[in-house]
Amino acid sequence: MQKPCRGGACPRPAYSHKKQYNTKTSSLTKKRSTNKHMNDEHFMKQALQEARKAFEEGEVPIGAVVVQNNRIIGRGYNNVERLNDCTAHAEMIALTSAFNTLGSKYLMEATLYVTVEPCLMCAGALYWSKIGRIVYAAPDDKNSYRRATAGHSPFHPKTKLEEGPCKEESLQLMKAFFEQRR
């Protein structure tokens, strides 16, 4: 039975397509698990492209993309200086973009690819987003969430955290940025 929509006729069909969609999702999940490393590298390279944009604009070169069902649903790079906003981190911008794309405040089926390990502020936002997975390229001993959490994970209990590919590229970009500033 079709539910009535606000304002008149509903453009959605009367039948339910959930079963078909779930079947497609599970086959996508199988493909994703067999090509996980290849996909991680591809999406981390997308995050590195975002980081290069930050570098070109004189921002700390950190980039992020949010991916769901092998599709980028949010992108971001640091905009702290340009916006004069200390909360304009790559992760925050990518999360906001993903929320707007989906029309949802939760990202349980999504993965965040970020070039540098998240800070404590971004870890808090990731906790509330309930993101399914976080993949970072390079650790950040000086500014990451680990500095303040004493070994406790600040992420949602169901969130998986992984160090991923492109570590050297990310570290080189950060090193070049700070050498340029000296």
Query: Annotated active-site positions, please?
Result: 91
Give yes or no for a contact between 13 and 106, defined as CB atoms under 8 angstroms apart: no
Q: Quick one: DSSP state of residue 8?
A: B
Contact residues for 112 (Cβ-Cβ < 8 A; gap 6+) = 64, 65, 66, 67, 91, 94, 95, 126, 131, 133, 134, 135
State both tokens at 72.
Answer: 């980028």
